[in-house]
């Protein structure tokens, strides 16, 4: 993952802070709509992190399987992606 790994870890640390902020908002009896806005922001940030990880997986793992010429490895990587996309649809 290289530099991308650092970026993703930093993103996840920010998300962690956002989640702690949401917990504090609940503890402070903040307005529900304000809390829900922050929950939506956390979900969007997680979706962005997920996209970055998927992009790295395609750029590294999947492309390496394709370049290897190993059909079993290629099928395994594509099967992983299909399984992931099927879980997302649920």
pLDDT digit string (tens) for 25-72? Answer: 999 999 999 999 999 999 999 999 999 998 888 888 888 888 999 999
pTM: 0.79
pLDDT at 84: 87
Determine the pLDDT at residue 48. Answer: 94
pLDDT of residue 41: 98
> Which of 1.10.3720.10, 1.20.58.1000, 1.10.10.10, 3.20.20.60 is the CATH number of 3-89?
1.20.58.1000
Residue 6 confidence (pLDDT)? 92
Which pLDDT score, from 0 to 100, does residue 14 have?
97
Residue 90 pLDDT > 80, yes or no?
Answer: no
29-57 as b/e: b if 16+ CB within 10 A: eeeeeebeebeeebeebeeebeebbeebb
Q: What is the residue extent of each domain of the chain?
A: 3-89
């Amino acid at each position: 993952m290289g530099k991308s790994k650092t970026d993703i870890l930093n993103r996840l640390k920010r998300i962690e802070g956002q989640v702690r902020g949401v917990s504090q908002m609940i503890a402070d009896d903040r307005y529900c709509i304000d809390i829900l806005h922050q929950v939506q922001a956390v979900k969007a940030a997680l979706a962005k992190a997920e996209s970055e990880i998927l992009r790295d997986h395609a750029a590294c793992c999947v492309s390496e399987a394709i370049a290897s010429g190993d059909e079993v490895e290629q099928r395994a990587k594509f099967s992983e992606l299909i399984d992931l996309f099927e879980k997302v649809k649920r």
